[in-house]
């Protein structure tokens, strides 16, 4: 195994996850505000789950996003 290749592959995956996740979260929040389901001043609970099924890895990360 080449550790440099592993590092680069993981970084590329995480970059894709980060960009895509941010876009999806922002879109969902903006839509909810437009539809009146959110006021725009809430603090929202988030949970991201990372799964690597071949290695039985499941890791959850909890966080919050304050809209104001």
The kind and range of the H/E element at 58 are: strand 57-66
Q: What is the pLDDT of residues 7-35, one digit of tens each?
A: 999 999 999 999 999 999 999 999 999 99
Q: What is the pLDDT of residue 4?
A: 97
Tokens of 39: 């006021």
Handedness of CA 57, 43, 39, 19 (dihedral sign): negative
Supply angle C-alpha 59, 24, 22, rounded to 5.
70
Q: How far apart are CA 35 and CA 29, in angstroms?
A: 10
What single-letter DSSP state applies at residue 55?
Answer: G
Q: What pTM was estimated for this model as a whole?
A: 0.87
pLDDT band of residue 47 (cuts 50, 70, 90) is: very high
Q: What is the pLDDT of residue 12?
A: 98
Tokens of 55: 């290695």
């Amino acid at each position: 195994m080449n550790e440099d290749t592993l590092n680069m592959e993981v970084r590329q995956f995480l970059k894709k996850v980060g960009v895509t996740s941010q876009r999806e979260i922002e879109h969902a929040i903006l839509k909810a505000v437009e539809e009146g389901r959110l006021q725009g001043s809430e603090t929202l609970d988030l949970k991201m789950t990372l799964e690597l099924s071949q290695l039985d890895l499941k890791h959850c990360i909890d966080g919050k996003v304050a809209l104001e």
